[in-house]
Amino acid sequence: MLPSPSSSPVHPQILHNRTNVVDECIPPPHIPRPFFTQLPTPPTKHAGVKRVATSQNRSPIKRLKLSAEDESESSDDDEDEFVVEPKTPRHSIHRFWPQDPYQRAAPAAVSTRSILQSFVSSNKSDTFKCQSIDLSSFLTPPYACAYSHHSKSGGESLLAVATEQGSVHLIDTKKRRDWDLEPPRTTLQPHTNAIFHVAWAPTDELLATCSGDHSSKIVNVSSKEVLYSLRGHTGTVKCAAWNPQHQDLLSTGGRDGTICIWDLRVGENRGHNSGPILEPVMMIQGAHESLNTKPGRPKNAIKAKSVTNLVYNGSDSLTSSGSFDGILRTWDLRFLTDKKKSKRTKGKKTTPICISSTDPTTDHGARRPRGILSLAPGTISTSGLLFALGADSRIHTFSASTLTPLPVSYAHQSLKVNSSFYLNMAISPCGRWLASGNGGRDGSCLLFDVASAGRPFARAEDGIELKGQIGEVGAVDWAENMLATCSDDGTVRVWRPDIETYKTCVESPEQGKWDWSWSLS
């Protein structure tokens, strides 16, 4: 009898599913091997195999027939062999090769949940207070934070924190001992209204702020000067994104549903005490409105469909999210209409080059679509992915190139959005860990290991909850080996992985709570 796969000698080659010969259909080394739904079974009487009768003392009467041509020439009267017409072609092995790359087999990523659990924060040296600029209150809530690009690559730990009073604190969050004084910080005052987003330029020389006064400011970090005032929105500016390859190009999105494209080298230069006023060079009006309506806010609309976040895909395309649903859109910046020309072509609307095929916010029992609060592009281990924090209190995963929602999403019983569109999300420099703000009043943030998000048949791991503040934790950001969280209690905390300290706190929680804060799960 023919040997089965389990009883055959150890051999690096896979046997064909019809005969005990080496499979010639296995793809060459440069092509990934197919994923088999089941092991090949030994040939049977009805498996479409021509088998030769043998005995112990004599060799096969005829050679084994492997092709359809050879089988057609054999004699049907031969009693020592039988022929059964094959049901499937010889290359049917390719039926088990999935066409979707996300369905192919791949090794599972090693979990780093134990490392996320070890994140701790000192109640003395890792806590920073946002002082009020006047005497009306002691502390002011921080609404946004961002580490410089140099900090994310292991350089100086410089964190920009934007507050409700329109100020920006530049804080050095390097590790220090409890009795060491806080390093001197720089405080800027580009606005007199709340700042909801802050972004560093690619060279870390400039800082862009987004405010409730309908404007954005470009600040020189070294000279502390406001170089430009960007005015083009008719509502609160919610987000800003710098072009990764051009220091003078950036985009902003606002509650008016408009995306403005800015070039710091051109525009109307009108003098102002806070720097020259620039107007956008291009605009996308009604970016997340229905494609069948005219641009601008409909007269019967209750509220505009805000642009909540922007992410550059290279230097020529821009991905945006909105407050109305979980559909993402990508825009080709090379084919946008000039702002002045758009006035003469009123009614002609800019169309995105790519739109999400489905809305993932409706996949988990929601009765209606929910908006997206924050976007975080993957990097290194998660390159090619895009993570989106939805108003359904889940973190969804998209393919960055096609905007296709992937099966994996992340949730936690403590993750609450509470209809707040001021929560932020950030991914670590290694691309493996994701931190999310939390709308609950318990002062916690959530950490997730997302390294397996793009792998086939991946399963979302449980998140880790960090609690050390009071009120809503709205803003988070990563640097090398540290995480910053901003809370409504007017404080900024820095968290670092420290396994020894974490073990000590878990073993003696009553004693450790006076000096440290650590994870709850």
Domain boundaries, the chain: 1-97
Give CA–CA dist 124/130, Å, rounded.
15
CA–CA distances in Å: residue 438 to residues 182, 186, 262: 27, 28, 32
Residues 6+ positions from 82 with CB-CB distance below 8 Å: 45, 50, 51
DSSP state of 519: B
Across-strand partners of 513?
none
Nearest CA to 321 among 333, 310, 332, 331?
A: 310
Identify the residue whose tokens are 């009604």: 286
Q: Which two tokens stand for residue 125?
A: 């040296």
Identify the residue whose tokens are 């929680």: 509
Residues 6+ positions from 309 with CB-CB distance below 8 Å: 238, 239, 253, 320, 321, 372, 373, 374, 375
Give CA–CA dist 318/259, Å, rounded.
10
Give CA–CA dist 144/165, Å, rounded.
12
Pairing assessment for the beta strands 277-278 and 226-231 based on DSSP bridges: parallel
DSSP state of 32: P
Query: Order of strands, edge to edge, in the sheet holding 385-390?
Result: 372-377, 385-390, 395-399, 405-410
Pairing assessment for the beta strands 206-211 and 249-254 based on DSSP bridges: unpaired
Cβ proximity of 336 and 284 under 8 Å: yes
pLDDT of residue 291: 64
Specify the 3-state DSSP secondary structure of 506: helix
Specify the 3-state DSSP secondary structure of 283: strand
Nearest CA to 294 among 256, 248, 350?
A: 350
Give CA–CA dist 311/385, Å, rounded.
12
Identify the residue whose tokens are 């020592």: 80
Cβ proximity of 185 and 157 under 8 Å: no
Specify the 3-state DSSP secondary structure of 253: strand
Residues 6+ positions from 190 with CB-CB distance below 8 Å: 166, 168, 209, 211, 217, 219, 226, 274
Cβ proximity of 284 and 252 under 8 Å: no
pLDDT in tens, the chain (521 residues): 444 444 444 444 444 444 444 444 444 444 444 443 344 444 444 444 444 444 444 444 444 444 444 444 444 444 444 444 444 444 433 333 333 443 344 455 678 889 999 999 999 999 999 988 876 668 999 999 999 999 999 889 999 999 999 999 999 999 999 999 999 999 999 999 999 999 999 999 999 999 999 999 999 999 999 999 999 999 999 999 999 988 899 999 999 999 999 999 986 555 556 678 999 999 999 999 876 555 554 444 446 789 999 999 988 899 999 999 999 999 999 887 655 554 444 446 788 999 999 999 998 777 889 999 999 999 998 999 999 999 999 999 999 999 999 999 999 999 988 767 789 999 999 999 999 999 888 889 999 999 999 888 888 889 999 999 998 999 999 999 999 999 999 999 999 999 999 999 999 999 999 999 999 87
Cβ proximity of 478 and 428 under 8 Å: yes
Length of the chain in terms of residues written: 521
Specify the 3-state DSSP secondary structure of 188: strand
Nearest CA to 130 among 438, 492, 493, 478?
A: 492
Give CA–CA dist 87/240, Å, rounded.
61
User: What is the pTM assigned to this prediction?
Assistant: 0.76
At 355, phi and psi to the nearest 5?
A: -135, 145
